[in-house]
Amino acid sequence: WRSGHRAAGENKVTTYSGHYFERYHGETNHLSELRIVLLGCLEAGKSSAGNTILGREEFDSQITAQCVKRQGEVAGRRITVVEAPGWWINSLVEESTEFRKQEIVLSVSQCPPGPHAVLLVIPLGIQFTENDRTALQKHLKLLTESVWSHTIVLFTCGDSLGDTPIEKHVESEGRALQWLVEKCRNRYHVLNNENRSDDTQVKELLEKIEEMVAANSGRQFELDREILEEVEEKRKVEEDRAKERTTKVQKRRKDIQAKMGK
């Protein structure tokens, strides 16, 4: 990962989700489909990263509280990208609304049977502090500890690095960022969203995702069904309450209009 070279290994063939996957002398055949979830705090560059990956303007940079799903053909693959709502920088998970937390959990169900990769979007040029690390770790805990085996750090604003290698930047940033990279088993990638004409950076990212899928024996990330069902049930209760409130307001308006008409 650091040098960009794949580790050589034994021949391996894995079949999953209807896709054929093969590693031969360290080389990986491209998967026909890749499913990606973008996670991170607000203004981390998730929308721009999604647009760079898909090669066109598909995500709106305006703040949204709901998941956004887009699809496209990229480098011979069918790509699904889900952008989960972000949290306010440095804010703990306890400070996020229930709706936002539910959307983060449900983000991984937007691309069934589950995402091949969860990309943690971290902007370069802004120091990643211990508070940022804590907030990120607690929000990811919503998806259980197993999500880390399917996670890659995606650094955005790559142009801010200049001539500094990303490895040197991580080492100079301090323990918080080093912890994050190590937690993701040194899986990371840099995107320069200002240079979308360079399709090499996206191809390399997709190849890194495929390498991670191979390391996971071809498995995508799947959240326990009971957790999803619990969140979906809570969401349904909240939606029913919202509809009930809307119905009451509409009835009240009609009553007032009827009285005014008389």
Per-residue pLDDT of 18-65, as tens digits, reads 343 444 334 456 899 999 999 999 989 999 999 999 999 999 877 778
- Per-chain mean pLDDT for the chain: 85
pLDDT tens-digit profile of 190-248? 998 777 777 899 999 999 999 999 999 999 999 888 888 888 888 787 777 778 888 88
Task: Give pLDDT, residue 194.
Answer: 79
Classify the phi-psi angles of 23: left when phi > 0, otherwise alpha if psi is within -120 to 50, otherwise beta.
beta
Q: How many CA atoms lie within 13 A of 35 on its CB side?
A: 19
- pLDDT one-digit tens code per residue, 97-129: 888 999 999 999 999 999 999 999 999 988 999
Q: What is the pLDDT of residue 233?
A: 85
Q: Give the C-alpha separation, 223 to 118, whole Å.
A: 12
pLDDT in tens, 120-169: 999 998 899 999 999 999 999 999 999 999 999 999 988 888 888 999 99
pLDDT above 70 for 262: no
CA angle 227, 230, 233 (to 5 degrees): 150
Give the per-residue pLDDT at 1: 53
User: What gap in Å lies between CA 20 and CA 13, rounded to an integer?
Assistant: 8
CA dihedral defined by 158, 164, 165, 167, rounded to 10 degrees?
Answer: -100
Superfamily of domain 31-223: P-loop containing nucleotide triphosphate hydrolases (3.40.50.300)
Record the pTM: 0.80
Domain ranges of the chain: 31-223, 226-262
Helix, strand, or coil (residue 124): coil
Dihedral of CA 107/227/205/173: which sign?
Answer: positive
Widest pairwise Cα distance in the chain: 85
